[in-house]
Structure 1
Amino acid sequence: MLIDLMRTPDTVERDRFERLGPDGRDALAALAHQHRCAPYLAYALDRRGDVDMPDSLRVIRDRSVFQALKIGRECVQIHEMFVDAGIAHVFLKGVPLAFRDYPASWMRPMRDIDVLIEPERLHDAYALLHDKGGSLDRFAHVPPDIVEDGKHLPPIHSPNRILPVELHYRMISPKVSLPSTVLQSIEQDVWEARNVVHVGKAELPVPRTELLLAHLIVHGMLDHELNNGPLFITDIVQFMRSNQLDRAKWDRVVERFHLRPAVELAASILPPNERSGLGVKAPARGMLDDEMVRALMFQPARFRSQIKVLASLSDEAVADRALLVWSKIFASRTALKGQWLVEGNEPGKEPRNTAVFWLWYLSVKIRQFFRTRTAGEELALQSLRGFRAKLTHHSREN
C-alpha cells in the first residue's frame, strides 16, 4: 500500500485504510518513517481528508517542519562559507528537491547534505567545514582521502551539528554500470552550467534540470538499485511536476549518457500520466512488476550490501568474482574498524594486532554470508538478480 500511496495517493481506496485498523495504520506510518517518506504520506492523507491519520504520523509531520527550517539554515551557512572562501560548489539531490520541487520543504526528509566540490579545493572545503562542525564519531577513524571507487569524503557535521554533510569529489559512484567517459562527461557538464535554488535570500547552486534528473535516475536505479525505498518514486514525480523539462535537451542527455534502459525501467514504476515526461511510451508499464519493486525497496537495511555482493557473485565472470571476494575479505584496516563499529563494539577497543583483527573480521564475514537468509532477503536477492537482468536486456535492445 505504501508504494501505491507514494505513486498515486488519491486512487487508493478508502476501504483499504479501514481494513488496516488502528494497529495497521500505525505500522504503515512506521514503515513510511523508516523509509523517509512519512512526511509526504502525512501530506497526501491530509489532502485526501477521508481517512484517519495516525497520531504518530502527525508527530513526524510537525517535527519535519522544524527540521526543514534547521536544514535550510545549515545549507545557507555552508554556501556562505564556501562563497567567502572562493570554493566552487553545487548542492546535489536533496536540496533542490526539498527546497524547490516538493510543495513544501518539510515533505522531503534529508539524512545528509550532499555537496559537490571543485576538485582542486576539496580538502580546503573539508578543513573549513570540519573546523566548524567537526567529525562524526562513527567516521572519525576514516581519513579524508579520495578513494578510487568512492565518491565523497567521510561525512562530517554540518556547522551547527544538525545533520551530516558529504563533500563529493564525484557526482556519481564509479561503481555504476556506465562507461568512465560518460561519468567524466556528466561531471564536466555540471560545472559548465548550473541553476539556483532559493532558500531565504540565498541562491544555492544546483545542477541544471536535465542533469539533476539524470543524477536522480542513475543514483536510484544504477547505484542503489531501488534499495532507497519508495521515496525514489515521489522524488521523480515531484521533480517532473515542478520543472519544465526541455525534451530535446533531455533526449540528448539520455542518449549521450547511455541512460535509455534505466530511464525506461524507472518510468515503468511511475504513475501512467508521468511517463511521457521522461520520453517513454505507455507500454513501458509492467517492465518492473510490483513484487520485484516491493522486494527491492523494502529489503532489510542491515543486509543490503551483502545482498548486492551475492547478486554480483552470480553475475560476474570468474575473474571478476575472484577480485570481488578478494576485496571483501582482504580489506583495509580502516574497513575493519568500520565493521568493528557496525557490530556494536566500542571505538578504540579493536585488536591492535592486524592478524588478530583480520581473523575477527573474517569470522564476521563468514557468519554473515553463510547464515540462513530470511524469506525477505531471499526474495530481495532474486529480485535484484532479475532487476539487473532486465537492465542488461534493455541495454542490448538499445
Structure 2
Amino acid sequence: MSRARIGRALMALCGHRARESAELTDSDWRELDALADQHRLRPFLHGRLTRGEIGSAVPAAIAASWQETHRANGIAMLAQRRALLQAGRVLAEEGIAAVALKGSALAWTVWPAPAERIMRDIDLLVGEEEAPAAYAALRRSGWAAPDLPREDLAGMAGSQAHLPPLHSPEGVMCELHAHVWGEAPLPGSTMPLADDAGLLSRAAHDEALGAAIPSAEDMLAHLVVHAACSHLLNVGPMALVDIDLWCTQRSVDWEAFWKRAAEHGFERPAVLIFALVDRWRRPGFLAHSGTPASPDDDLLVEAEMLLVQDLDARKDVSALASAAAGQFGGRIGQHPLDRAERPSGGLGRAGQLAQRAWSLGRSALDGDTRRDALATARLQKWMEG
C-alpha cells in the first residue's frame, strides 16, 4: 500500500525513526510533502531539518517549501498570540478567567519555536455560566461573530464544547470553550468525564505565553482525550509531538494522572496514545510514564494509519464507522453551531444532505476510506473496553 508506506515515512520524519525515510524516490517525496501539508507538519519538518534531525535526503525544492511555510507561519503565530493576549485582557476586565488550550498553550511554551506549530485558531476555556458574557464582551471589543440572544448562547454553552467562532479585528479565529471537550463523535459512544471547573481552578499563568495554561496533568489529559476520543486519531502525527514535548518539559505527576485516567474513563485512550509516542517519537516513553499496559500490534498498526488518513474524508470515515458499529444515527437538522453561523432553510438543508449522501457513497467505494472506517469502529470499541 503506497499510502501506508508514505504515511509511515512521514511519521518517521517526525520522531526518532527519521532515517527510515532515506530510500524515498522523488515521487514518494512529493506524495509525502502533500501529506505533510495536509497535516500541518511542513514548518515542524523544516525545524527538524535545520537542526539536523532528519538528514540531507530531502529534495531541495521540498526543503524550500518547508522553509517558506515556516516563515509564513511565524508571521501568523505572532498575530495569533497578539489576538490571544487581547482576548485575555478583554475577559480579565470583565472578571472572567480564561485558560489557553491545545496549540494556544503549547506553541509558545514547549515547542522548539512557535513558528513550527501551525494553529487553525486559538482556543480559550471559560466557565460555562460565564461563556455568554465572555462571548458578548469580545463582540463589543471588535471581534466578529453572530449576534445571538443570551439565552441561545447559554443553551449552546450547556450543550456544545464551544460557542460559534469569533474573529479578531485582524481575522484570527477564536473558539471560546465552555467545556474542555464535547460529545463523542460516533453515535452511541461515550466520552470520558470532564473536569472543567477543576481545570480552570488548577490553571496557572505562564510567563512565556503571557496567559493561563492548564496544569501538567490537565493538559496531558486534554491532549489524550482530544486526539483519541474526540477525534479518533484524525488529528495527525502532531498529536504525538505535542504530548512528547509537553511531557519532556513539564513535571507530570504520573500516579495522579493514571488515577484520574482510571476514574474518569480515559485510561485506555492514554495507553494507546502513549504506545504510539513510544513507537514513533521517544523510545522508553511507556516505561517512563508508568503506562499500565500496551495495546497489541494489530491495533497499533491500524492506529498509525488513522493518524495519517486523508483529512478530506474525515466526515465520511466517521459516518461509515458508525454504520460498521451498528449505529445509524444522523443529524437531519442543521448543527446548532452551523445554524448560528450560516442558517439554511429547508431547501438549503436538503441540498446539504444530498451532497453528504453523494460524498458518502463515493467514499464507500474507496478502499482506504473503508479501511479507515472499519479501523475507527474497532478503535472506538477497544477504547470503551
Using the size of structure 1 for normalisation, the TM-score is 0.81
- Change in 2 beyond 3 A, CA 1:170/1:50: same
Deviating more after overlay: 211-220 vs 38-47 = 38-47
Aligned to 1:113: 122
In 2: Cα distance, 1:170 partner to 1:207 partner:
13
Q: Do the aligned partners of 2:123 and 2:175 also contact (CA within 8 Å) in 1?
A: yes
Asked if 1:377 corresponds to 2:385, the answer is no
Q: 25, 38, 52: which is aligned to 1:20?
A: 25
Shift of 1:2: 0.6
Shift of 1:90: 1.0
In 1: Cα distance, 2:112 partner to 2:56 partner:
21
Q: 12, 15, 30: which is aligned to 1:7?
A: 15
Asked if 1:58 corresponds to 2:49, the answer is no
Shift of 1:294: 4.2
Aligned to 1:344: none
Q: Do the aligned partners of 1:336 and 1:361 also contact (CA within 8 Å) in 2?
A: no
In 1: Cα distance, 2:350 partner to 2:375 partner:
33
- Change in 2 beyond 3 A, CA 1:375/1:85: same
Q: 143, 163, 169: which is aligned to 1:153?
A: 163
Q: 83, 105, 110: which is aligned to 1:101?
A: 110
Q: 158, 161, 164: which is aligned to 2:173?
A: 164
Alpha-carbon displacement from aligned partner over 1:86-108 (angstroms, at most 9, x marks no partner) = 11111111122111111221122
Equivalent residue runs for 1:184-333 within 5 Å: 186-199=195-208, 202=210, 204-271=211-278, 272-280=283-291, 283-284=294-295, 286=297, 288-290=299-301, 292-316=302-326, 321=328, 324-325=329-330, 328-331=331-334
Q: 23, 36, 42: which is aligned to 1:32?
A: 36
In 1: Cα distance, 2:21 partner to 2:222 partner:
36
In 2: Cα distance, 1:277 partner to 1:100 partner:
22
**Which residue identity is paired with 1:87?**
I
Equivalent residue runs for 1:348-363 within 5 Å: 354=346, 356-363=347-354
**Which residue identity is paired with 2:57?**
V
Structure 1 counterpart SS, 2:29: helix
**Which residue identity is paired with 2:56?**
D
In 1: Cα distance, 2:169 partner to 2:288 partner:
38
Aligned to 1:75: 84
Q: Do the aligned partners of 1:39 and 1:57 also contact (CA within 8 Å) in 2?
A: yes
In 2: Cα distance, 1:334 partner to 1:84 partner:
27
Q: 343, 346, 364: which is aligned to 2:355?
A: 364
**Which residue identity is paired with 2:33?**
A
- Change in 2 beyond 3 A, CA 1:165/1:333: closer
Equivalent residue runs for 1:336-355 within 5 Å: 354=346
Q: Do the aligned partners of 1:135 and 1:157 also contact (CA within 8 Å) in 2?
A: yes
Q: Do the aligned partners of 1:141 and 1:334 also contact (CA within 8 Å) in 2?
A: no
**Which residue identity is paired with 1:235?**
D
Shift of 1:26: 4.0
Q: 367, 391, 394: which is aligned to 2:383?
A: 391
- Change in 2 beyond 3 A, CA 1:152/1:146: farther
- Change in 2 beyond 3 A, CA 1:366/1:111: closer
In 2: Cα distance, 1:168 partner to 1:337 partner:
16
Structure 2 counterpart SS, 1:100: coil
- Change in 2 beyond 3 A, CA 1:91/1:15: closer
In 1: Cα distance, 2:323 partner to 2:352 partner:
20
**Which residue identity is paired with 1:82?**
L
- Change in 2 beyond 3 A, CA 1:374/1:337: farther
Q: Do the aligned partners of 1:112 and 1:166 also contact (CA within 8 Å) in 2?
A: yes
Shift of 1:150: 1.8
- Change in 2 beyond 3 A, CA 1:280/1:335: same
Shift of 1:310: 2.3
- Change in 2 beyond 3 A, CA 1:248/1:336: closer
Aligned to 1:46: 50
**Which residue identity is paired with 2:383?**
L
Alpha-carbon displacement from aligned partner over 1:326-358 (angstroms, at most 9, x marks no partner) = xx22446975797xx7xxxxxx9x6x5x3x445
The percent of aligned pairs where both chains have the same amino acid is 23
In 1: Cα distance, 2:340 partner to 2:262 partner:
42
Shift of 1:113: 0.6
Q: Do the aligned partners of 1:158 and 1:164 also contact (CA within 8 Å) in 2?
A: yes
**Which residue identity is paired with 1:231?**
M
Structure 1 counterpart SS, 2:246: helix
Give the unaligned 5+ runs of structure 2: 1-8
Higher relative contact order (CA 8 A, sep 6+): 2
**Which residue identity is paired with 2:38?**
Q
**Which residue identity is paired with 1:312?**
S
- Change in 2 beyond 3 A, CA 1:197/1:288: farther
Alpha-carbon displacement from aligned partner over 1:268-309 (angstroms, at most 9, x marks no partner) = 21133222233226854736333x234312333333123212
Structure 2 counterpart SS, 1:267: helix
In 2: Cα distance, 1:36 partner to 1:56 partner:
13
Q: How many residues align?
A: 361
In 1: Cα distance, 2:108 partner to 2:335 partner:
39
Q: Do the aligned partners of 2:272 and 2:294 also contact (CA within 8 Å) in 1?
A: no
In 2: Cα distance, 1:333 partner to 1:169 partner:
15
Structure 1 counterpart SS, 2:57: coil
Give the unaligned 5+ runs of structure 1: 342-347
Aligned to 2:3: none
Alpha-carbon displacement from aligned partner over 1:42-93 (angstroms, at most 9, x marks no partner) = 1112222533452111111122222222222222211112112211111111
